[in-house]
Amino acid sequence: MAATETVSIRERLRSFGGSSRRSAVLKGTASAALAKVLTTAVSFVSLPLCVRYFGAERYGVWVTILSTSAWLAVFEFGLTDTITNMISAAHAHDDRESAARYATNAVAIAFCFALLLFGIGLLIWPHIDFARLLNVHGAGLPAEVSRTVAVACSLVLLTPMCTVGLKILSGYQQTHVANTATSLGALLSLVGLLIGVSMRASMPVLFLASNGVLTACGVLTLVWTLLISKPWLRPRVQHLSPEIARGLLSTGLPFFLIRLASVVVFSTDNVIVSHYLGAAQVTPYSVAMRVVMYAQLIPAFVFPSLWAAYAEANARGEFDWIRRNYRRTMAISTALTIAPLIVLVFAGRWIIRLWAGPVAVPSEALLLMMAVWAVVSGMTGVQSCLLGAVQRNRLQAIVSLLAAGANLALSIFLVQRFGAIGAVEGTLLSYTLILGPQSFEVRRYFRDQFKRPTAETLTL
């Protein structure tokens, strides 16, 4: 009788947890949809504005710096992804003390990395010829490029600290709050850009006006989360622990390797195209990539909320719920990615001409190749969301690094022979290398979990 009552209690708790988790996912997805629509609208307005303001060559420099500066954000060693899983596990067991320790050490690590990288940047920045690297020679452009790089890198160094606040909110399944902060930052960024353009600001000033607002919103979100929304997370000296810090960095290492590989795949194409073909060729390439990535917006709505839900369900041992939702997400995500891509393949060049101007129109072959890449990328994204949440990402990290190296070599080789389309061909081939091993790891995860005896079986 006692055993039966125990099973009944566990079933009720799991039912409640599933219902609460489903509500959090739906709320997070709805807010992510609203945030993505808003940030996409901001991007939709700002991109053609920048193209027309800068011209083909200077916009190519602008977008290359914007994407390449993201390299520095990688050097938080997977901390921001790890903190979501740690907070989710602590939240599942209502353990505020552990959550406070994780939050304090995460913020301290992010701050120390920012100081370290800023010092290194001060030493090496004067010795790098950015104009030669990006193949630009316009009057006054080399000095402007160098100053813009300095502004961009300084802002990016604060990105890990900003992201920690958003990830903590995700760990508590309050992704909708994080999405609200992101939406506000996007709106203020557009305001800053419009003011800068109206004042005919230089590139570094315009970069600070538009992107500095995003950083400020992230810092304020972190402060609000730790001091007001969740005061039990307030950083305390006694919570600093070398053991916890090492644990966060050790657990985050696979995330770091995956993110590093992602940066190589996404951020090097603009540099390669600019270096070998000229900065003006970056404009149609980057605009086409932006348009194709719009097709992945709807599937991306659910990922942040679903990651936290997977992590909590994994901590509770609710593997059947994870399997059902993974299969459903993969099917719906793939369908929602393919549908808009069909429209873009046939009408994308006409849309881009009206939207961003003739200098931004890519070739038909480039647009088609990017559409194929977007489908493969969407499938790997669904897999990565699950593997990251359940911390089964070591194989993924190794394969991602190998694929990133292959992407870099292939892109350099193919761009010199086939032009800008060679960059996306190298990216597509590298993603294909990732898809197979990730699929194997997902199947192995489900096989391993369903071989385990459940809590009910052990109780009975």
The structure tokens 């995500």 sit at 333
| pLDDT at 369 (0 to 100) | 92
Residue 211: name the closest of 140, 158, 174 by CA.
Answer: 158
Q: Give the C-alpha separation, 114 to 58, whole Å.
A: 29
pLDDT surpasses 80 at 403? yes
Q: Which of 55-59, 137-141, 172-176 shows the lowest per-residue confidence on average (mean pLDDT)?
A: 137-141
Distances (CA, A) of 262 to 71, 142, 222, 259, 430: 10, 28, 25, 5, 11
Alpha-carbon dihedral sign for residues 167, 170, 176, 177: negative
- Which long-range contacts (C-beta less than 8 Å, at least 24 apart) are formed by 20-26? 21/173, 21/309, 21/312, 21/313, 21/321, 22/309, 24/173, 24/174, 24/175, 24/305, 24/308, 24/309, 25/173, 25/302, 25/305, 25/306, 25/309
| pLDDT at 32 (0 to 100) | 61
Alpha-carbon dihedral sign for residues 293, 37, 302, 252: positive
> Rounded to two decimals, what is the model's pTM?
0.66
pLDDT surpasses 80 at 175? no
For 322-333, what is the mean pLDDT?
Answer: 89
Highest mean pLDDT pick, 34-43, 203-212, 448-457? 203-212
Distances (CA, A) of 210 to 79, 152, 165, 195, 203: 26, 11, 21, 9, 11
pLDDT surpasses 70 at 25? no
Half-sphere exposure at residue 73, Cβ-oriented, CA atoms within 13 angstroms: 23
Half-sphere exposure at residue 371, Cβ-oriented, CA atoms within 13 angstroms: 20
| Straight-line distance from the first to the last Cα atom of the chain, in angstroms, rounded to the nearest whole number | 10
Q: Give the C-alpha separation, 448 to 432, whole Å.
A: 25
Contact 375, 293 (CB under 8 A): no
